[in-house]
Amino acid sequence: MPATIRDVARASGVHISTVSRTFSAPHLVNPETRNRVLACAEHLGYRPNRAARALITGRTHNIGLIIADIANPFFPPLIKAAESQARQRDYHIFIADTNEDPAAEEDLVHALAKQVDGVLLCSPRMSNSLIEQLSREVPLVVINRQVTGLPAVVMDVGQGARLAVEHLTGLGHRELALLGGPRGSWTNREIRRAATAAARAADASLTVLGPNPPTEGGGIAMAEQVRRTGATAVLAYNDLMAIGLMEGLDSLGLRVPQDISVVGIDDIALSRLTRPKLTTVATPTAAAGRTAVDMLLQHDGSSTARAGRGGGRTSTADDRRTTAQVSLQTELVIRDSTGVGPAASADRPGTAATADRPGAASPARPGPHGHPAPGGATAATPESVAS
Amino acid sequence: MPATIRDVARASGVHISTVSRTFSAPHLVNPETRNRVLACAEHLGYRPNRAARALITGRTHNIGLIIADIANPFFPPLIKAAESQARQRDYHIFIADTNEDPAAEEDLVHALAKQVDGVLLCSPRMSNSLIEQLSREVPLVVINRQVTGLPAVVMDVGQGARLAVEHLTGLGHRELALLGGPRGSWTNREIRRAATAAARAADASLTVLGPNPPTEGGGIAMAEQVRRTGATAVLAYNDLMAIGLMEGLDSLGLRVPQDISVVGIDDIALSRLTRPKLTTVATPTAAAGRTAVDMLLQHDGSSTARAGRGGGRTSTADDRRTTAQVSLQTELVIRDSTGVGPAASADRPGTAATADRPGAASPARPGPHGHPAPGGATAATPESVAS
DNA sequence: ACTTCTCCTGCAAACCTTTGCAGCCAACGG
DNA sequence: CCGTTGGCTGCAAAGGTTTGCAGGAGAAGT
């Protein structure tokens, strides 16, 4: 039913190869002929069959995008940007949601491998070894993690976490908590390392809690534990958890930011809409999506466009040919969920760096539970410095 | 580099056609041979090349999914469900974001047409005529709109809007406002029709405002106008607008729900997280995604699975072969953004159905603007009953 | 023993393009 | 006038798979 190259050839009285060239190498065909062919093609509604083309050229003009969880509001802006960038370069995007299920992920990549020219992998929990194996099957670009030998685009959450901690200590907080994310996440490790370092540099203590599921529920569930640490400020693995935490703190009778400050990471759209509005570390998700497709596509020659967008980029490696790592800067956006710490309101006896009684700093309504913190605030765990 | 059918044939000492049959028609090949072939294939890591297969069978096992705006939180759950359902049936999903740009949409469909077996269209503003033209090029299922002759899955927002209005009038509100969505949206028309009818039935007045962009910003911007209508309760086209509206009302000094009640539509995840939590009409987006791929796939024989999921479904048409319309039920979820209306607190003089002075019902702090409403609250516009 | 049937397998065409190679023609230099 | 060049076009192979058709082997029926 749909017109093929042969129909066009017949209609315009030339050989199919001429029609083919009209589309894929226009300079090789006489302008007059070309116009005639073009006219016929237009008239017949002809579009080259990409599958057939792929069969012979080996290039499908498709990109796979594997996402851990589409419904996580962190991802849609990334997807959107990747799709847009891809389309602009005449590529289409296959999308796949793995539901964080490693088995599904492997199947997926295999199934996709033949149909795409490359895959963008955005799946924090997948094992490194599997990724390496996969990368032998199809060009891969990983997002928000680092795998030796593979091109990657990461967001510099370490820097962001440092900024956040500095912001907090600057406000006078000495007892910090870090609401950790899922085990095995590169981002999580990065945040933890940077946060502990920054806390130590500011002579503040930092309790790290986790691992936790990176969801609103994960935040809600940890509210009680956070309170027990006695921290007056907490940095969460992502905005979703931060928001859940605020929710949980609220039902414990703790006010944000008066009693406790909360900062998230990601700056998802939602964070502007909570009350109080969430202070958070903005990650350039859209830029990451664009950059990732650029990296994938620059590898295969075809596209000559030089990657030049997404400001604030720091190329960490040689731009030669392979395994570039692009790190995108983050920034702290201060809204209403952070406020001055206890040290600012009164210069109490006892140096700030030592652990006080939990809750002593906050004049919160008592709340239903009155337990003292079991072990007091623990010091930062410095052993995680090695990547 | 990747193993082809020929490699497997050579390795297992059979003809390629036997290998082919081993995968696509196993019952035609001797079990013994089959196992040998399977073993070789496994060993070589062979996977049938879907492009080559598509070339000859004409079936790509791909589905296109065209979305107006991926970043709109309404869509991700739909995408996720569609992707999952598709994969379960051994289909992959091409995703495309049109940015609400009609020109992009057309290109997209054309480009996709050859690469997919069908397209799910989720793009409220696209013109009907274009859709019809497209449907001649590739099987289409439209979501949340109705195009004569095309299979569709819609969410029954009309019913939801009715429920919402009844909820509001039941609380004693007599002055309602409807914060309309974008022009040309089927959903918008449906809501409007049902809401006006329900308001009339309850003898309440309803002012419809719009069209507006279906975003948070659209809601914020309309806060002042909403207040001018004097309405004590408002139904918004979607949750995003409702949330924006609450934001705007707040900065006007109006409290929700004490001064004014707000209800949204969609029940996006965000709505559980705002303060106050948003009362809203829950639409079964995930079920819609699943159902849509089922409809698309049941058309082409191959899959024999009977569509039987997504409870609460009402089939509006014959299940014969073509142009079925599936309507999914919605339900009202009552949270904290709606409260009793002024009629409940004091039985003022003047029948409820007539327009009072705007703001008279609310003891709000004055706020910066003191204009009386220009035309007072207008009556419902009944001319939009025809679809 | 001969036909008929069933089961399995091989053959080759077909799907729609791309692309290296060769051929044609006109123009041009000598 | 001949040889060369350059611009354009046709030819045919190739890419990986499916599938109608035919053939072969053995079993079953007569």
* Cα distance between residue A79 and residue A290, in whole Å: 9
Q: In this structure, are A279 and A305 located in the same domain?
A: no
Task: Assess whether B5 (CB) lies less than 7 A from strand D.
Answer: yes
Do B104 and B40 share a structural domain?
A: no
| B263 in a structural domain | yes
| Interface residues of chain B, partner chain A, Cβ below 8 Å | 2, 47, 49-52, 54-55, 60, 62, 69-71, 73, 75-77, 79-80, 83-84, 87, 92-97, 99, 108, 110-115, 137, 216, 243, 247, 269-270, 273-275
- Within 7 A of a protein CB, which nucleotides of strand C? 7-12, 14-20
Contact A169, A199 (CB under 8 A): yes
Q: Flag whether B327 is in a domain.
A: no
How many domains does chain A divide into?
A: 3
- Is residue A288 domain-resident? no
**Are A191 and A336 part of one and the same domain?**
yes
Predicted structure pTM score: 0.84
A60 contacts on B by Cβ (under 8 Å): 51
Q: Verify if strand C has an atom below 7 Å from the CB of B198.
A: no
Please tell me whether residues A303 and A277 are part of one structural domain. Answer: no
Q: B229 CA, D20 C1': separation in Å?
A: 73
Average pLDDT value for residue range A131-142? 90
The tens place of each residue's pLDDT in chain B, 387 residues long, gives 689 999 999 999 999 999 999 999 999 999 999 999 999 999 999 999 999 999 999 999 999 999 999 999 999 999 999 999 999 999 999 999 998 787 778 888 888 888 899 999 998 888 888 899 889 889 999 999 999 889 999 999 999 999 999 999 999 999 999 999 999 899 999 999 999 999 999 999 999 998 999 999 999 999 999 999 999 999 999 999 999 999 999 999 999 999 999 999 999 999 998 889 999 999 999 999 999 999 999 865 443 333 333 334 444 433 334 568 999 999 999 999 999 988 544 444 433 333 333 333 333 333 334 343 333 333 333 322 222
Do A125 and A19 lie in one domain? The reply is no
- Residue B218 and residue B206 in one domain: yes
Question: Which positions in chain A touch B273 (Cβ < 8 Å)?
Answer: 216, 243, 247, 270, 274
* Pairing verdict, β B279-282 and B331-333: antiparallel
Write out pLDDT tens, residues A377-387. 333 332 222 22
Asked if pLDDT for residue A31 goes beyond 80, the answer is yes
Q: What is the CATH number of the domain that holds A234?
A: 3.40.50.2300
CA–C1' gap, A15 and C23, in angstroms: 14
A199, A343, A364 from A348: Cα distances, Å: 20, 7, 18
Strands A62-67 and A92-97: parallel
* Residue B74 domain flag: yes
User: Are A69 and A40 members of one domain?
Assistant: no
Q: Which residues of chain A (28-57) touch nucleic strand D at CB < 7 A? A: 28-34, 52, 55-56
Give distance CA B24 / C1' C5 (Å): 25
Structural domain that includes position B119? 60-138+285-321
Partners of B84 on chain A (C-beta within 8 Å) are: 97, 99
Of B69, B79, B216, the CB nearest to A70: B79
Is residue A360 over pLDDT 70? no
Separation of alpha carbons A148 and B271, rounded Å: 41
State the alpha helices, DSSP H only, in A239-333: 239-251, 285-299
Same domain, yes or no, for A209 and A278?
Answer: yes
Say whether both B220 and B247 belong to one domain: yes
Name the residue facing B76 among A70, A112, A275 (closest C-beta).
A70
A271 located within any domain: yes
Whether B326 maps to a domain, the answer reads: no
Contact B247, B221 (CB under 8 A): no
The model's pLDDT over A267-324, given as tens digits with 9 standing for 90+, comes to 999 999 888 999 999 999 999 999 999 999 986 544 333 333 333 444 444 344 456 8
Q: What local confidence, expressed as pLDDT, does residue B300 receive?
A: 59
List chain A residues with CB under 8 Å of B115: 50-51, 62, 92
* Co-location of B241 and B376 in the same domain: yes
Is there a single domain that holds both residue A203 and residue A133? no
Strand D closer than 7 A to residue A15 Cβ:
yes
Closest chain A residue by Cα to residue B88: A104
Q: Which residue in B has a C-alpha nearest to residue A1's C-alpha?
A: B137
Q: Angle B31-44/B5-12 helices, nearest 10 degrees? A: 120
Residue B186 lies in a domain: yes
**Residue A109 pLDDT level (bands cut at 50, 70, 90):** confident
For the domain that residue B23 is a member of, what is the CATH number?
A: 1.10.260.40
Shared domain for B67 and B109, answered yes or no, is yes
Return the exposure string of A152-172: e unless at least 16 CB atoms fall within 10 Å of the residue's CB, then b: bbbbbbbbbbbbbbebbbebb
Burial class (CB in 10 A: 0-12, 13-18, 19+), B144: buried
Residue B143, domain member (yes or no): no
Q: Which helix (H) or strand (E) holds A147?
A: none
Alpha helices in B157-268 (DSSP H): 157-170, 186-201, 216-221, 223-229, 239-251
- Residue A83: which of B75, B97, B115 has the nearest Cβ? B97
Chain A interface residues (partner B, CB cutoff 8 A): 2, 47, 49-52, 54-55, 60, 62, 69-71, 73, 75-77, 79-80, 83-84, 87, 92-97, 99, 108, 110-115, 137, 216, 243, 247, 269-270, 273-275
Q: What is the pLDDT of residues A56-86, one digit of tens each?
A: 999 999 999 999 999 999 999 999 999 999 9
